[in-house]
Chain A
Amino acid sequence: MSAVLGSERPQVVSHVQQALSYTVFDCKWVPRSARLMCLGSAARGTGVIQLYELRGTRLEVLREIEKPKPIKCGTFGATSLQQRYLATGDFDGNLNIWNLEAPEIPVYSVKGHKEIINSIDGVGGLGIGEGAPEIVTGSRDGTVKVWDPRQNDTPVANMEPVQGESKRDCWTVAFGNAYNQEERVVCAGYDNGDIKLFDLKTMSLRWETNIKNGVCSVEFDRKDINMNKLVATSLEGKFHVFDMRTQHPAKGFASVSEKAQKSTIWQVRHLPQNRDIFMTSGGSGSLHLWKYEYPAQRSKKDSEGSEMGVAGSLSLLQNVTLSTQPISSLDWSADKKGLCVCGAFDQTVRVLIVTKLNKI
Chain B
Amino acid sequence: MPLWLREHSWRQTLTAVYLSLPLRGARATAANIFCSEQYLKVSVPPFLFEAVLYAPIDDTNSTAKIGNGNIFFTLYKKEPAMWDSLTLANADKEKLQHLRENAVLKAQEKAKEETKAKKITKQEHKKYALMATMKLEEAERKRIEDLKEKEREKVTKELELWKNQQKDGDKYKSIQTKEELHQEIESLKERKNEKMNKTRIPNEGSSKTRLKSTRGCHVSCSIFSQDLKEEQLPAPRAAATIKVNFTPRVFPTALRESRVAEEEEWLYKQAEARRIINSDLSELEDLKEEEKNPDWLKDKGNKMFAMGDYLGAVNAYNLAVRLNNKLPVLYLNRAACHLKLRNLHKAIEDSSKALELLTPPVPDNENARVKAHVRRGTAFCQLELYTEGLQDYEAALKIDPKNKIIEKDAEKIRQLIQGAMQSS
Q: Which residues of A contact B (CB under 8 A)?
A: 11, 13, 15, 32-34, 54, 56-57, 82, 131-134, 146, 148, 150-151, 154-162, 165-168, 181-182, 190, 192-194, 196, 198, 200, 203-205, 210, 212-214, 235-236, 335-336, 339, 353, 355
Q: What 1/0 flags go to B14-25 for Cβ under 8 Å of A?
A: 000000000000
CA distance in complex: A236, B160 (Å): 39
Chain A hits for B239, CB < 8 A: 154-158
Task: Out of A56, A132, A194, A205, name the residue touching B236 (CB < 8 Å).
Answer: A132
Q: Quick check: is B259 within 8 A (CB to CB) of the other chain?
A: no
CA distance in complex: A3, B169 (Å): 39
A-B residue pair count with CB separations less than 8 angstroms: 115
Q: Quick check: is B156 within 8 A (CB to CB) of the other chain?
A: yes
Q: Are B242 and A132 in contact (CB under 8 A)?
A: no
Tell me the dominant secondary structure on chain A's binding face: loop
Task: Out of B159, B177, B241, B255, name the residue touching A157 (CB < 8 Å).
Answer: B241
In the assembled complex, 25 residue pairs joining A and B whose CB atoms fall closer than 8 Å, in A order, are A11-B151, A13-B152, A32-B166, A34-B162, A56-B156, A56-B160, A82-B177, A131-B234, A132-B234, A148-B236, A148-B237, A156-B239, A156-B240, A161-B245, A181-B234, A182-B234, A192-B254, A198-B242, A200-B237, A210-B247, A235-B254, A236-B255, A336-B159, A353-B155, A355-B151
Q: Are B151 and A13 in contact (CB under 8 A)?
A: yes
Chain B hits for A205, CB < 8 A: 242, 244
A192-B247, A236-B255 known; A158 and B242 CB under 8 Å?
A: yes
| B226-259 with Cβ < 8 A to chain A | 233-247, 249, 254-256
| B176-208 with Cβ < 8 A to chain A | 177
CB of A79 to closest CB in B, whole Å:
13
Chain A hits for B162, CB < 8 A: 34, 335-336
A13-B152, A54-B159, A57-B156 known; A156 and B246 CB under 8 Å?
A: no
CA distance in complex: A155, B238 (Å): 9
Q: Quick check: is B109 within 8 A (CB to CB) of the other chain?
A: no
Q: Are B240 and A160 in contact (CB under 8 A)?
A: no
Q: Quick check: is B163 within 8 A (CB to CB) of the other chain?
A: yes
CB-based closest 5 A-B pairs: A148-B236, A156-B237, A203-B240, A151-B236, A158-B241
CA distance in complex: A214, B234 (Å): 36
A339: nearest residue on chain B (CB-CB)?
B159
CA distance in complex: A132, B156 (Å): 38
| Chain B interface category by residue count | 20 to 34
A193-B247, A210-B247 known; A157 and B237 CB under 8 Å?
A: yes
Chain A hits for B241, CB < 8 A: 157-160
Chain A hits for B236, CB < 8 A: 132, 148, 150-151, 156
A200: nearest residue on chain B (CB-CB)?
B237
Given contacts A162-B244, A193-B247, 15 further A-B contacts (CB under 8 A): A11-B151, A13-B155, A15-B156, A34-B159, A56-B160, A150-B236, A155-B239, A157-B240, A159-B241, A165-B246, A168-B246, A194-B247, A200-B237, A203-B242, A353-B159
Chain B hits for A32, CB < 8 A: 166, 169-170
Q: Are A34 and B151 in contact (CB under 8 A)?
A: no
Task: Out of A13, A157, A192, A336, name the residue touching B242 (CB < 8 Å).
Answer: A157
Task: Out of A148, A203, A235, A339, name the residue touching B256 (CB < 8 Å).
Answer: A235
Residue from B151, B235, B240, B242 having most chain A Cβ neighbours under 10 A: B242
Chain A hits for B169, CB < 8 A: 32
CB of B414 to closest CB in A, whole Å:
43
Q: Are B234 and A162 in contact (CB under 8 A)?
A: no
Q: Are B247 and A34 in contact (CB under 8 A)?
A: no
Q: Quick check: is B126 within 8 A (CB to CB) of the other chain?
A: no
CA distance in complex: A133, B233 (Å): 8
Q: Are B256 and A236 in contact (CB under 8 A)?
A: yes
Q: Quick check: is B148 within 8 A (CB to CB) of the other chain?
A: yes
CA distance in complex: A34, B159 (Å): 9
Q: Are A34 and B163 in contact (CB under 8 A)?
A: yes
Task: Out of B233, B235, B237, name the residue touching A146 (CB < 8 Å).
Answer: B237
A168: nearest residue on chain B (CB-CB)?
B246
CB of A184 to closest CB in B, whole Å:
9
Chain B hits for A13, CB < 8 A: 148, 151-152, 155
CA distance in complex: A236, B254 (Å): 11
Q: Are A158 and B255 in contact (CB under 8 A)?
A: no
A54-B159, A151-B236, A203-B240 known; A192 and B246 CB under 8 Å?
A: yes
Q: What 1/0 flags go to B119-159 for Cβ under 8 Å of A?
A: 00000000000000000000000000000100110011001
Q: Are B240 and A158 in contact (CB under 8 A)?
A: yes
CB of A115 to closest CB in B, whole Å:
16
CB of A298 to closest CB in B, whole Å:
28
Chain A hits for B256, CB < 8 A: 213, 235-236
Q: Are A165 and B242 in contact (CB under 8 A)?
A: no
Chain A hits for B254, CB < 8 A: 192, 213-214, 235
Q: Are A132 and B159 in contact (CB under 8 A)?
A: no
A33: nearest residue on chain B (CB-CB)?
B166
CB of B160 to closest CB in A, whole Å:
7
Chain A hits for B240, CB < 8 A: 156-158, 203
Task: Out of A11, A132, A133, A161, name the residue touching B246 (CB < 8 Å).
Answer: A161
Q: What 1/0 flags go to B89-129 for Cβ under 8 Å of A?
A: 00000000000000000000000000000000000000000
Task: Out of A132, A161, A168, name the residue touching B243 (CB < 8 Å).
Answer: A161
CB of B400 to closest CB in A, whole Å:
25
Chain A hits for B234, CB < 8 A: 131-132, 181-182
CB of A353 to closest CB in B, whole Å:
5
